[in-house]
Chain A
Amino acid sequence: GENVEQHPSTLSVQEGDSAVIKCTYSDSASNYFPWYKQELGKRPQLIIDIRSNVGEKKDQRIAVTLNKTAKHFSLHITETQPEDSAVYFCAASKSSGSARQLTFGSGTQLTVLP
């Protein structure tokens, strides 16, 4: 099956600095790559996603890049704020016939220091 690796597991940055989280996937058939943010005690929520026919996508302070050849994708957060502190998960999704599998990475605990 699909294997998604995520690094780093923890990341501390000063408020206003940028944060980068990287993921690699194993199955070249994966074609949808969402990123989720999970605040303490809450459910994961989608923050941005990218499809395999796109190399980069941006939404205000967050951006995601995808390198299909290398099978890796990254989340970039600029001008970090304390409310960005959370666990971030990357995921990769592929079709298997009618089934749609969604595999997550192990998560990155981001702490933004004031």
Chain B
Amino acid sequence: DVKVTQSSRYLVKRTGEKVFLECVQDMDHENMFWYRQDPGLGLRLIYFSYDVKMKEKGDIPEGYSVSREKKERFSLILESASTNQTSMYLCASSLYITEAFFGQGTRLTVV
């Protein structure tokens, strides 16, 4: 059974803080994704990665960066958190052209 695990379910951070969201998958998937989910906007792609140290910008990369030092781990970094980054963040992983499996989500609140 594929498992995608995000490090926190709920997170509260202050404006200007550097925030790290961690995601780990246990199925040796080469693709990993970070999305943010907001009501009425669906799942918007922030960044994705297809291999260790490889990353591609998605549709809304501004204010975010990512790191993939190991195949199983994909980190999302908010360099200086702002209130408009309050959202649900979902990580996902997949093999090449197959089903994407999602983590349970991290509800981030920036105050």
Contacts and interface: CB of A to CB of B under 8 A. Distances in A.
Interface stretch (B65-73, B79-87, B98-106): B98-106
B56 interface: yes
Among B43, B90, B92, the most chain A Cβ lie within 10 Å of the Cβ of: B43
Given A99-B48, A104-B43, A34 B99 contact: yes
Interface in A83-114: 89, 93, 95-96, 98-107
Interface residues of B, number: 27
Contacts of B33: 102
Interface of A: 1, 6, 9, 31-32, 34, 43-46, 49, 51, 89, 93, 95-96, 98-107
Interface of chain A, helix or strand or loop or mixed?
strand
Given A98-B51, A100-B48, A100-B96, 9 more contacts: A31-B97, A43-B102, A51-B97, A99-B48, A101-B48, A104-B45, A106-B42, A107-B40, A107-B43
